[in-house]
Copies of this chain bind each other. A is one copy, B any other.
């Protein structure tokens, strides 16, 4: 019985299947956890600058991610709004909202998949 982890109570599942998924497009990553979180923050704040700040991400990096998503999507996910006092903001488009929803649904399916696989590992290993 050597090798059985001593810290795990016997009733607790011993192993869990973990992982990451992302959606690739023509350029490589199109949507992943970080990109979708950025879209959600842009929706919340109406500003790439503030969205980036809330994620401790540079504006430059956030802008590059938005541009990458816009290029790979069928329609822009984020559009910049210019003018007005204090400069322009950014608006999440309907396509952007659909991208968030799609990724969250994928992620929920992936969670279910990992739970199912964890049960397989714990029963069969």
Interface of A toward B, CB cutoff 8 Å:
1-5, 7-8, 14-27, 30, 70-76, 98-99, 102, 106, 109-110, 113-114, 117, 120-121, 124-125
Contact = CB atoms under 8 A, between A and B. Distances in A.
Contact of A72 (B3, B18, B21, B76): B3
A121 B106 contact: yes
B19 A74 contact: no
Contacts of A30: 15
A6 to B, nearest CB: 8
Contacts of A23: 15-18, 121
Contacts of A121: 23, 102, 106
9 contacts: A1-B75, A3-B74, A14-B25, A17-B22, A18-B21, A19-B20, A74-B125, A99-B125, A102-B124
Given A1-B74, A17-B21, A109-B113, 14 more contacts: A5-B72, A14-B26, A15-B30, A16-B23, A17-B23, A19-B20, A19-B22, A20-B20, A21-B117, A102-B121, A102-B124, A102-B125, A106-B120, A113-B113
